[in-house]
Amino acid sequence: MATTTQEILDKATSLGKLVAEHPAVEKYRQAQRAVASDPDAGRLMSEFNRQLEALARAEQMGTGITDAQRNQLESLQGQIISHIKIKALNMAQVDFIDLLRKVTAEIHRPLAGDLGQAGGQTPAGPTGPRLSTI
């Protein structure tokens, strides 16, 4: 019996609920709240984003990036990297993304053999459609 789209979506909803209960997700949420509630962290992130946008505009217009702009961006990066709450957010984000990567890999595992095999033999290299994650 073939699986229906609705059955897959129902299982995906269940999987989403399980993932949401994982400690890495809660740690990530707490780190996000900590950064959001810290005025200094918010200021650093906003200023960094403003600088990136200004540099992107300058690059698009062909005016180039000045040494002063580059130095200011590097200074902001240093402050962001050393900010304890932002550092905790980055570490929590790595754990969260790793969890999602592992889940996605497990979803793809059964498909890889079916889509990648020709005549029951494993091909020497990647052929046919490949599934990828964003």
Domain of residue 39, residue span? 13-100
Place of tokens 């959001």: 36
Q: Which CATH number do you get for residue 46?
A: 1.20.1500.10
Q: Is 122 part of any domain?
A: no
Indicate whether 2 pLDDT > 60: yes
**DSSP class of residue 120?**
T
pLDDT at 113: 73
Q: What gap in Å lies between CA 123 and CA 19, rounded to an integer?
A: 33
Indicate whether 123 pLDDT > 50: no
Mean pLDDT of 94-101: 97
Secondary structure of residue 126 in the 3-state scheme: coil
Indicate whether 122 pLDDT > 50: no
Backbone dihedral angles phi then psi of residue 68, each to the nearest 5 degrees? -65, -40
Mean pLDDT of 30-40: 95
Least confident of 20-34, 54-68, 96-110: 54-68
Q: Is 32 part of any domain?
A: yes
Backbone dihedral angles phi then psi of residue 54, each to the nearest 5 degrees? -65, -40
How much of the chain exceeds pLDDT 90, in percent?
63
